[in-house]
Amino acid sequence: MADKNEQTMNLTLKVWRQKGPQEPGRLVEYKVTGVSPDMSFLEMLDVLNEQLVSRGEDAVAFDHDCREGICGMCSLMIDGRAHGPDSAATTCQLHMRRYKDGDTVVIEPFRAKGFPVVKDLVVDRSAFDRIMMAGGFVSVGTGAACDANSILVPKEKADKAMDAAACIGCGACVAACPNAAAMLFVAAKVSQYALLPQGQAERDRRALAMRKAMDAEGFGHCTNEYECEAACPKEIKVSNIARLNREFLRAAVSAD
Protein backbone atom coordinates (compact mmCIF):
# COMPACT_ATOMS: atom_id res chain seq x y z
CA MET A 1 0.00 0.00 0.00
CA ALA A 2 1.07 3.58 -0.60
CA ASP A 3 2.59 5.63 2.24
CA LYS A 4 0.13 8.14 3.75
CA ASN A 5 2.46 11.07 2.95
CA GLU A 6 3.10 9.91 -0.61
CA GLN A 7 1.29 11.48 -3.54
CA THR A 8 -1.06 8.93 -5.07
CA MET A 9 -3.18 8.66 -8.20
CA ASN A 10 -6.75 7.81 -8.98
CA LEU A 11 -7.30 6.01 -12.28
CA THR A 12 -10.15 4.84 -14.44
CA LEU A 13 -9.67 1.28 -15.63
CA LYS A 14 -11.61 -0.37 -18.44
CA VAL A 15 -11.04 -4.06 -17.79
CA TRP A 16 -12.12 -7.03 -19.88
CA ARG A 17 -14.38 -9.28 -17.78
CA GLN A 18 -15.35 -12.75 -19.00
CA LYS A 19 -16.57 -15.50 -16.70
CA GLY A 20 -15.42 -18.40 -18.87
CA PRO A 21 -14.30 -19.55 -22.32
CA GLN A 22 -17.86 -19.95 -23.59
CA GLU A 23 -19.25 -16.83 -21.92
CA PRO A 24 -19.53 -13.43 -23.62
CA GLY A 25 -17.12 -10.80 -22.37
CA ARG A 26 -17.18 -7.03 -22.11
CA LEU A 27 -15.17 -4.08 -20.87
CA VAL A 28 -16.18 -2.97 -17.39
CA GLU A 29 -15.18 0.41 -15.98
CA TYR A 30 -13.67 0.65 -12.50
CA LYS A 31 -12.26 3.50 -10.45
CA VAL A 32 -9.11 2.58 -8.54
CA THR A 33 -7.82 4.94 -5.86
CA GLY A 34 -4.62 5.38 -3.88
CA VAL A 35 -2.21 4.15 -6.55
CA SER A 36 1.44 4.92 -5.83
CA PRO A 37 3.69 5.89 -8.75
CA ASP A 38 6.21 3.38 -7.37
CA MET A 39 3.81 0.44 -7.80
CA SER A 40 4.20 -1.96 -10.68
CA PHE A 41 1.23 -2.41 -12.99
CA LEU A 42 0.43 -5.75 -11.36
CA GLU A 43 0.56 -4.21 -7.90
CA MET A 44 -1.95 -1.66 -9.12
CA LEU A 45 -4.21 -4.55 -10.19
CA ASP A 46 -3.75 -6.02 -6.71
CA VAL A 47 -5.03 -2.74 -5.27
CA LEU A 48 -8.02 -2.85 -7.62
CA ASN A 49 -8.82 -6.39 -6.51
CA GLU A 50 -8.56 -5.46 -2.84
CA GLN A 51 -11.05 -2.67 -3.43
CA LEU A 52 -13.38 -4.95 -5.41
CA VAL A 53 -13.31 -7.68 -2.76
CA SER A 54 -13.95 -5.14 0.01
CA ARG A 55 -17.16 -4.22 -1.85
CA GLY A 56 -18.18 -7.84 -2.25
CA GLU A 57 -17.38 -7.96 -5.98
CA ASP A 58 -15.41 -10.61 -7.86
CA ALA A 59 -11.69 -9.97 -8.23
CA VAL A 60 -10.23 -9.62 -11.70
CA ALA A 61 -8.39 -12.78 -12.78
CA PHE A 62 -4.95 -12.15 -14.29
CA ASP A 63 -1.80 -14.24 -14.75
CA HIS A 64 1.44 -13.57 -12.90
CA ASP A 65 4.30 -15.46 -11.31
CA CYS A 66 7.85 -14.17 -10.95
CA ARG A 67 7.04 -10.44 -11.26
CA GLU A 68 10.66 -9.97 -12.33
CA GLY A 69 10.35 -10.05 -16.12
CA ILE A 70 11.56 -13.64 -16.32
CA CYS A 71 8.59 -15.99 -16.69
CA GLY A 72 6.37 -14.15 -19.20
CA MET A 73 3.14 -15.01 -17.40
CA CYS A 74 2.00 -11.37 -17.07
CA SER A 75 0.50 -11.23 -20.56
CA LEU A 76 -1.80 -8.22 -20.91
CA MET A 77 -2.85 -5.87 -23.67
CA ILE A 78 -2.60 -2.39 -22.16
CA ASP A 79 -4.09 0.41 -24.25
CA GLY A 80 -3.77 -1.83 -27.28
CA ARG A 81 -0.11 -2.76 -26.77
CA ALA A 82 1.22 -6.13 -25.63
CA HIS A 83 2.76 -5.68 -22.16
CA GLY A 84 2.06 -1.93 -22.26
CA PRO A 85 3.86 1.21 -23.46
CA ASP A 86 7.42 0.37 -22.36
CA SER A 87 9.78 -1.28 -24.83
CA ALA A 88 11.75 -4.44 -23.98
CA ALA A 89 9.71 -4.96 -20.81
CA THR A 90 7.01 -7.27 -19.51
CA THR A 91 3.82 -6.09 -17.83
CA CYS A 92 5.28 -6.68 -14.36
CA GLN A 93 8.17 -4.35 -15.22
CA LEU A 94 5.80 -1.51 -16.11
CA HIS A 95 5.50 1.01 -13.27
CA MET A 96 2.67 3.38 -12.54
CA ARG A 97 4.95 6.40 -12.80
CA ARG A 98 4.23 5.99 -16.51
CA TYR A 99 0.74 7.34 -15.80
CA LYS A 100 -0.72 10.44 -14.20
CA ASP A 101 -3.68 11.12 -11.96
CA GLY A 102 -6.98 10.83 -13.80
CA ASP A 103 -5.71 8.67 -16.67
CA THR A 104 -7.91 6.03 -18.28
CA VAL A 105 -6.28 2.68 -18.99
CA VAL A 106 -7.79 -0.12 -21.11
CA ILE A 107 -6.72 -3.63 -20.06
CA GLU A 108 -7.52 -6.68 -22.19
CA PRO A 109 -6.26 -10.25 -22.59
CA PHE A 110 -4.04 -11.36 -25.45
CA ARG A 111 -6.34 -12.08 -28.38
CA ALA A 112 -5.59 -14.97 -30.74
CA LYS A 113 -7.29 -18.17 -31.82
CA GLY A 114 -4.36 -20.06 -30.33
CA PHE A 115 -4.81 -18.28 -26.98
CA PRO A 116 -8.46 -18.82 -25.91
CA VAL A 117 -9.64 -16.78 -22.93
CA VAL A 118 -9.96 -18.79 -19.71
CA LYS A 119 -11.35 -16.02 -17.51
CA ASP A 120 -11.09 -12.22 -17.57
CA LEU A 121 -7.45 -11.44 -18.46
CA VAL A 122 -6.21 -15.04 -18.32
CA VAL A 123 -5.62 -16.89 -21.60
CA ASP A 124 -4.65 -20.50 -22.26
CA ARG A 125 -1.17 -20.49 -23.79
CA SER A 126 -0.67 -24.24 -23.61
CA ALA A 127 -0.43 -24.21 -27.43
CA PHE A 128 3.16 -23.06 -26.94
CA ASP A 129 3.79 -26.06 -24.69
CA ARG A 130 2.48 -28.43 -27.35
CA ILE A 131 4.69 -26.82 -29.99
CA MET A 132 7.69 -27.29 -27.72
CA MET A 133 6.72 -30.91 -27.08
CA ALA A 134 6.76 -31.48 -30.83
CA GLY A 135 10.47 -30.72 -31.15
CA GLY A 136 11.79 -28.00 -28.88
CA PHE A 137 14.34 -30.20 -27.16
CA VAL A 138 17.48 -32.31 -27.65
CA SER A 139 16.81 -35.98 -26.95
CA VAL A 140 20.07 -37.48 -28.15
CA GLY A 141 23.18 -37.82 -26.01
CA THR A 142 25.40 -34.74 -26.26
CA GLY A 143 27.66 -35.30 -23.28
CA ALA A 144 27.51 -33.98 -19.74
CA ALA A 145 28.17 -30.48 -18.44
CA CYS A 146 31.85 -31.24 -17.98
CA ASP A 147 32.12 -31.97 -21.73
CA ALA A 148 30.85 -28.56 -22.81
CA ASN A 149 34.28 -26.99 -23.29
CA SER A 150 35.32 -29.83 -25.59
CA ILE A 151 32.64 -28.87 -28.13
CA LEU A 152 33.92 -25.85 -30.03
CA VAL A 153 31.28 -23.26 -30.96
CA PRO A 154 32.13 -20.06 -32.83
CA LYS A 155 31.35 -17.03 -30.65
CA GLU A 156 29.11 -15.45 -33.28
CA LYS A 157 26.90 -18.54 -33.36
CA ALA A 158 26.95 -18.91 -29.59
CA ASP A 159 25.85 -15.31 -29.17
CA LYS A 160 23.00 -15.71 -31.67
CA ALA A 161 21.88 -18.95 -30.01
CA MET A 162 21.85 -17.28 -26.59
CA ASP A 163 19.89 -14.32 -27.98
CA ALA A 164 17.27 -16.71 -29.38
CA ALA A 165 17.18 -18.71 -26.15
CA ALA A 166 16.24 -15.52 -24.27
CA CYS A 167 12.64 -16.00 -25.50
CA ILE A 168 10.37 -16.48 -22.45
CA GLY A 169 7.34 -17.68 -24.41
CA CYS A 170 5.10 -14.88 -23.18
CA GLY A 171 3.11 -14.68 -26.43
CA ALA A 172 3.46 -10.93 -26.96
CA CYS A 173 4.59 -11.63 -30.53
CA VAL A 174 1.31 -13.41 -31.23
CA ALA A 175 -0.77 -10.70 -29.57
CA ALA A 176 0.96 -7.92 -31.50
CA CYS A 177 0.83 -9.63 -34.90
CA PRO A 178 -2.20 -8.66 -37.02
CA ASN A 179 -2.32 -12.29 -38.17
CA ALA A 180 -1.79 -13.74 -34.67
CA ALA A 181 1.25 -15.59 -36.00
CA ALA A 182 3.56 -17.53 -33.69
CA MET A 183 6.51 -17.47 -36.08
CA LEU A 184 8.83 -15.44 -33.84
CA PHE A 185 8.33 -17.80 -30.91
CA VAL A 186 8.87 -20.92 -33.01
CA ALA A 187 11.78 -19.31 -34.85
CA ALA A 188 13.53 -18.48 -31.57
CA LYS A 189 13.14 -22.03 -30.26
CA VAL A 190 14.31 -23.60 -33.53
CA SER A 191 17.22 -21.15 -33.85
CA GLN A 192 18.66 -21.78 -30.42
CA TYR A 193 19.22 -25.42 -31.37
CA ALA A 194 19.97 -25.04 -35.08
CA LEU A 195 22.92 -22.78 -34.32
CA LEU A 196 24.60 -25.20 -31.91
CA PRO A 197 26.31 -28.57 -32.53
CA GLN A 198 24.10 -30.27 -29.93
CA GLY A 199 20.99 -29.56 -32.01
CA GLN A 200 22.23 -30.93 -35.33
CA ALA A 201 21.16 -34.56 -34.94
CA GLU A 202 17.44 -33.68 -34.83
CA ARG A 203 17.67 -30.50 -36.87
CA ASP A 204 15.41 -31.49 -39.78
CA ARG A 205 12.84 -33.34 -37.70
CA ARG A 206 12.61 -30.41 -35.28
CA ALA A 207 11.91 -27.81 -37.96
CA LEU A 208 9.22 -29.92 -39.63
CA ALA A 209 7.54 -31.02 -36.41
CA MET A 210 7.41 -27.59 -34.77
CA ARG A 211 6.09 -25.89 -37.91
CA LYS A 212 3.43 -28.58 -38.25
CA ALA A 213 2.44 -28.21 -34.58
CA MET A 214 2.27 -24.43 -34.93
CA ASP A 215 -0.10 -24.69 -37.90
CA ALA A 216 -2.25 -27.27 -36.10
CA GLU A 217 -2.79 -24.83 -33.21
CA GLY A 218 -4.45 -22.31 -35.52
CA PHE A 219 -1.88 -19.52 -35.46
CA GLY A 220 -1.80 -17.18 -38.45
CA HIS A 221 0.88 -16.75 -41.08
CA CYS A 222 3.76 -14.28 -41.06
CA THR A 223 3.44 -11.38 -43.49
CA ASN A 224 6.55 -9.49 -42.31
CA GLU A 225 4.78 -6.80 -40.31
CA TYR A 226 7.63 -6.71 -37.74
CA GLU A 227 5.14 -6.03 -34.93
CA CYS A 228 6.37 -9.18 -33.18
CA GLU A 229 9.91 -7.85 -32.82
CA ALA A 230 8.63 -4.48 -31.60
CA ALA A 231 6.49 -6.11 -28.89
CA CYS A 232 8.98 -8.73 -27.72
CA PRO A 233 10.17 -7.97 -24.17
CA LYS A 234 13.43 -9.83 -24.88
CA GLU A 235 13.98 -8.12 -28.25
CA ILE A 236 14.10 -11.34 -30.28
CA LYS A 237 14.97 -10.41 -33.86
CA VAL A 238 12.88 -11.28 -36.93
CA SER A 239 16.07 -12.57 -38.54
CA ASN A 240 15.26 -15.74 -36.61
CA ILE A 241 12.12 -16.12 -38.74
CA ALA A 242 14.29 -16.12 -41.86
CA ARG A 243 16.38 -18.85 -40.24
CA LEU A 244 13.26 -20.86 -39.41
CA ASN A 245 12.12 -20.63 -43.04
CA ARG A 246 15.53 -21.80 -44.23
CA GLU A 247 15.52 -24.67 -41.74
CA PHE A 248 12.02 -25.69 -42.81
CA LEU A 249 12.82 -25.59 -46.53
CA ARG A 250 16.06 -27.49 -45.98
CA ALA A 251 14.23 -30.17 -44.01
CA ALA A 252 11.39 -30.38 -46.54
CA VAL A 253 13.82 -30.88 -49.43
CA SER A 254 15.77 -33.50 -47.46
CA ALA A 255 12.55 -35.34 -46.65
CA ASP A 256 11.72 -35.60 -50.34
Q: Is 107 helix (H, G, I), strand (E, B) or coil?
A: strand
Q: In what order do the strands lie in the sheet with 9-17?
A: 26-35, 9-17, 104-108, 77-78, 81-82
Tell me, yes or no, if the two domains 9-119 and 125-255 fold the same way: no
Architecture of domain 125-255: Orthogonal Bundle (1.10)
In this prediction, residue 145 carries a pLDDT of 80
Give the DSSP H or E segment for 234: none
Give 10-residue mean pLDDT values along the chain (256 residues): 73 97 96 97 98 98 96 96 97 97 98 96 98 95 81 93 97 98 98 95 96 97 96 98 96 84
DSSP per position, 154-180? -HHHHHHHHHHHT-----HHHHHSTT-
The CATH code belonging to domain 9-119 is 3.10.20.30
Q: Are 112 and 122 in contact (CB under 8 A)?
A: no
What residues does each domain of the chain span?
A: 9-119, 125-255
In this prediction, residue 29 carries a pLDDT of 98
